Structure 1
Amino acid sequence: MCETIRRLPKPLLRLITSGFTRLYQYNGRRCLYTDTALDLVDYKNARITAQVLGNPDVFKDTMKIILKNEENQVGVADLRKLLHIIEKNEGDICLLKTMLERYNQQDNEDSDYLIGPVVMRALHYLDEPLLALEAATDPKFKMLYDQPKTFAILVDLLYEHKMYKEVRDVYSFLRHRPVSKLVISIVAMACYKENTPESLEFAMQMWKDVCSKSKPLRRTIVTLTALALNQNQPEIALNIIAHCHNFNSISVRSTKVMALCDLDQLDKVLVDFRHALGHNSYYLADVGSKFKAAVRRLNLKPEEEIRNVFHTLQLRRAIQSLCNSRKTIINKLYRNVMQTLDEYISTPIDVSKRP
């Protein structure tokens, strides 16, 4: 086996070892979008082809010689090739910066190749959040990175590194430009993770911007609702969740009932519980704790109808329970069961490609 590995081409061997390195780096980190949603799978496949075909080191040395002459231009094919063979070292990063500078200074109006998203995928792969942030927000590169997908990849990388303030800064940078729904959802999640009065204020300003232009994703609506609930603002939570037209979703139904429980509006909660019984609907585990807290505050007697309905929902397992045992945790992982609102929000999103 060892002999077989030694006989592999060096570029392919580097690719394999770098893959193990990235697997180690990502252990314990949470992403919001899957690699497929950000086209990172296609990028990685293209890296395999570029690494195996040709000699990356020879190409890099050739480009360094070419760049010594300031009159030489950088072709999009050469830049694209470098982006698919670049490694995480100072020499390669320096070469990329130089090529991007030269390419940006050229007249590239005839080229329809979008370089910005590819640069961000390369930096995402190399795990370089600060470098990606610096490049994308540099005013002189505005035209190079002027694509919504570019910033979606950027904020996803920042989010993975828990750079939540920087995620908000990117939105402020983009506020008066077209912003993709992917970016909005990640900014919402960053605000949720920060969970401060300031992040809620920022999120509500973004919410106003978004609602004036388009319909937000359901995940974004639920995330901002959860943030409002965490900040003890159930009125705001109800106003946000009202923008969902489909209340059959377990996350939407649960957050609505949680807000009503916080407001002690158990008459409306009873209506929802009855509907759930009649339609075999389900709730996240947070509903149970929110409801019990409201019952204690209102000092409801055991014979109250709403308590009996709640008990029936529990018997039917219509309200998910918190996992308290190792066996339950294992079952949850394999069955992909969402038990809490936080777990639902934190689940990576996969965006299917359209034909």
Structure 2
Amino acid sequence: MAHVFQTYKVLSAFAAKTTLKCLIWPSKPLLQVRTLYSPVTLGIDAYIQQRARTDAQLGNISEKFRIKMEEYASENSKNMIFTEDLKNMIHLATEDDITLIIQMMNKFNEQNKQLRFGNFVFGPVVMRMLHHLQKPAIALECFNSPKLEGFFEQLITYQLLLDLLYEHKMYKEMLTTYEKIQSRQIEGTKYPRNIIVLLMAACYKLNTADSCKYALSVWNCLKDAGHFPMRRATTFCAALAVNHNQPEACIEILANTKNQNYTTVRNLKAIALTRIGRLDETVNLLKSVLEGEGNVKQTFNREVIEEVHAAVEKSGNASLLQELNRIEKYFTEQGHIHEGSLDKQLCEEIKPPPFLTENNRQFTNRHNSYNQRSNQGNYRYNRYERDDGQQMRKQQRPGLSEMS
């Protein structure tokens, strides 16, 4: 994949000067910026719930706890950072605490290189914290930090980071980060499916000649590896291809989608067929929604219908135009025309299926119950400290209950 990224960098200067006209891309930037994946999908909702529980558990001793953590995290301190220390600090975090938490992570990670105490994985929780606090630059800095090597090597962590960068329109940084992710092949996965979705989303949002070439190069690598991307990755790549005057590539990419009748797939295919002059096939595609089954009304976007109509009208085929007019009339009367943009549909937030949401919430509650079991005296360990300025005695590290 290194050669793919080299292609991206070589074309950057050219792309900055290149402007292409496309019908899918909106004429004005969207005012609302949001994540590509929903908070439920990313586990951020569960993280927020855990924040509330941690705050309730610590109560009025939270400030004393912070002061202790500042002491233990300092370079000169011989105190260790325990798993529960870092867990609680992550769930108490405000913007003012980020520097402290990074110091704690650095020290904790260094400790674990010598002796690993537990198997708790911090990468996803830390990245949810930074996602919640909206700190993409710090998230990227932590991800690239040599001191935190091995800390963020989980697929869900990669997904959280890329989603955060996406929300803040850091699309070029997403491509650079993908190259690092792809080279690691964590969990034996060379092309993680959700990561590919976010990569294609970044390329689509960049919407430049070089990002199109990069996306198509990655697509070829996926094809050679026998990888079948998720539908959203497919439609992002197909839309980018058609935006850059490659409707043939768009059609070939869409052929890999299992559900050919999905709304974005149908709309993109209609545009691509129109642009290569296969107007009879385009009109037949429009008619196919009339034969659809099920309770969901199938639609075409108005902008797509308008492009098809203009092309048929320009072709001079009177009979085909007459048939298209009948279809348009029926679509209007029966509500088969969607007024929203295709771009907005392509970028809709990805949510878990409704039937999975409750099961996922139950699992998350069980998974995050660690604080309910572990916040009772786990901060104690033995050390010698001076008592009343006179006598040395064996003393335990103060527990949370002793900070009040």
TM-score, structure 2 normalization: 0.72
Kept in 2: contact 1:262–1:290 (CA 8 A): no
Shift in Å, 1:269: 1.6
Q: Give the aligned partner of residue 48 of structure 1.
A: 52
Q: Matches of 2:277 and 2:140 in 1, distance apart?
A: 44
Which residue of 88, 91, 99 corresponds with 1:81? 88
Flag the 1:318–1:255 CA change in 2: closer, same or farther, 3 A.
farther
Q: Matches of 2:207 and 2:250 in 1, distance apart?
A: 14
Q: Residue deviations 1:191-224, cap 9 Å, x none?
A: 1111111111111122233342532111111121
In the alignment, is residue 193 of structure 1 matched against residue 199 of structure 2?
Answer: no
In the alignment, is residue 348 of structure 1 matched against residue 365 of structure 2?
Answer: no
Kept in 1: contact 2:72–2:78 (CA 8 A): no
Which residue of 207, 211, 220 corresponds with 2:219? 207
Q: Give the aligned partner of residue 324 of structure 2.
A: 307
Instruction: State how 1:114-125 maps to structure 2 within 5 Å.
Output: 114-125=121-132
Give the letter aligned to residue 151 of structure 1.
Y
How large is the Cα RMSD of the aligned pairs? 2.2
Instruction: State how 1:185-334 maps to structure 2 within 5 Å.
Output: 185-211=197-223, 212=225, 214-279=227-292, 281-301=298-318, 304=321, 306-317=323-334, 319-322=336-339
Q: Matches of 2:133 and 2:94 in 1, distance apart?
A: 7
Shift in Å, 1:110: 4.8
Shift in Å, 1:181: 2.2
Give the letter aligned to residue 283 of structure 1.
F
Flag the 1:273–1:303 CA change in 2: closer, same or farther, 3 A.
closer
Q: Matches of 2:245 and 2:205 in 1, distance apart?
A: 15
Shift in Å, 1:279: 2.7
The percentage of aligned residue pairs carrying the same residue is: 29
Higher-RCO chain (CA-CA 8 Å, sequence separation at least 6): 2
Give the letter aligned to residue 71 of structure 2.
I
Kept in 2: contact 1:149–1:180 (CA 8 A): no
Mark the runs of 5 or more structure 1 residues left unpaired by the alignment: 1-26, 323-338
Shift in Å, 1:40: 0.4
Which residue of 96, 114, 120 corresponds with 1:113? 120
Give the letter aligned to residue 222 of structure 1.
T
Q: Give the aligned partner of residue 109 of structure 2.
A: 104
Give the letter aligned to residue 203 of structure 1.
A
Kept in 1: contact 2:71–2:77 (CA 8 A): no
Q: Matches of 1:300 and 1:308 in 2, distance apart?
A: 12
Shift in Å, 1:171: 0.8
In the alignment, is residue 30 of structure 1 matched against residue 34 of structure 2?
Answer: yes
Kept in 2: contact 1:251–1:284 (CA 8 A): no
Kept in 2: contact 1:60–1:82 (CA 8 A): yes
Give the letter aligned to residue 194 of structure 2.
L
Shift in Å, 1:149: 0.5
In the alignment, is residue 168 of structure 1 matched against residue 192 of structure 2?
Answer: no
How many residues are paired up?
A: 311
Q: Matches of 2:117 and 2:267 in 1, distance apart?
A: 52
**Larger deviation: 292-301 or 252-261?**
292-301
Q: Matches of 1:207 and 1:111 in 2, distance apart?
A: 40
Rg larger in structure: 2
Kept in 2: contact 1:47–1:85 (CA 8 A): yes
Q: Matches of 1:120 and 1:35 in 2, distance apart?
A: 13
**Larger deviation: 294-303 or 263-272?**
294-303
Q: Matches of 1:133 and 1:75 in 2, distance apart?
A: 24
Kept in 1: contact 2:86–2:104 (CA 8 A): yes
Kept in 2: contact 1:273–1:309 (CA 8 A): no
Shift in Å, 1:137: 2.2
Q: Give the aligned partner of residue 381 of structure 2.
A: none
Flag the 1:168–1:245 CA change in 2: closer, same or farther, 3 A.
same
Mark the runs of 5 or more structure 2 residues left unpaired by the alignment: 1-30, 364-404
**Larger deviation: 273-282 or 218-227?**
273-282
Q: Give the aligned partner of residue 60 of structure 1.
A: 66
Q: Give the aligned partner of residue 23 of structure 2.
A: none
Shift in Å, 1:166: 0.8
Q: Matches of 1:306 and 1:287 in 2, distance apart?
A: 17
Flag the 1:318–1:300 CA change in 2: closer, same or farther, 3 A.
farther
Shift in Å, 1:185: 1.4
Flag the 1:269–1:235 CA change in 2: closer, same or farther, 3 A.
same
Shift in Å, 1:59: 0.7
Q: Matches of 1:115 and 1:265 in 2, distance apart?
A: 53
Flag the 1:63–1:279 CA change in 2: closer, same or farther, 3 A.
closer
Q: Give the aligned partner of residue 95 of structure 1.
A: 100
